[in-house]
Amino acid sequence: MVGDMRAVIQRVTRASVEVEGRVVGQIGMGLLVYLSVGRADGDKDAEFMAEKLKGLRIFADEAGKMNRSIRDVGGEILLVSNFTLHGDCRKGRRPGFDAAAEPATAQRLYEKTAQLIAEAGIKVAKGVFGAYMQVTSVNDGPVTFLLDSSRLF
């Protein structure tokens, strides 16, 4: 069964995340990735997401075309957990979060995704899972993509 791990990916010149006024993760040039784990997600979804993030060619080459990956440019990734990406706003005025994974599963798959990226030699900074965070970034482009492990978008 394929899940629906979701990500918002922003190409940035720099980004950082703070918890209780203290910087817990920061990067220079690279990707700010908000990651949400769905109820049906498993290891295969984390593997899919990590592979996509490592290989997505969204950095400019010499001709200015998006033709280089995070590995190609020596960039970094700031991975921030964000269950609200599974918020359902179709009914009423308050989002529902029934599609989001339970916290223990979400944290395990969030950490697995980070580990798989780091194992490829890419620097990964992280937020604090489940914490209230303040994220600061400078979006480069702006270049922003949506990614879903069920490949709906």
| pLDDT at residue 1 is higher than 60 | no
Q: What is the pTM of this model?
A: 0.95
Average pLDDT value for residue range 125-148: 97
C-alpha triplet 113, 82, 87: angle, nearest 5°: 120
Q: What is the pLDDT of residue 3?
A: 80
User: Domain boundaries in the chain?
Assistant: 6-148
Q: What's the rounded Cα separation, in Å, for the pair 69 and 90?
A: 35
Range 6-148 has CATH code 3.50.80.10:
yes
In the 8-state DSSP scheme, what is residue 100?
Answer: B
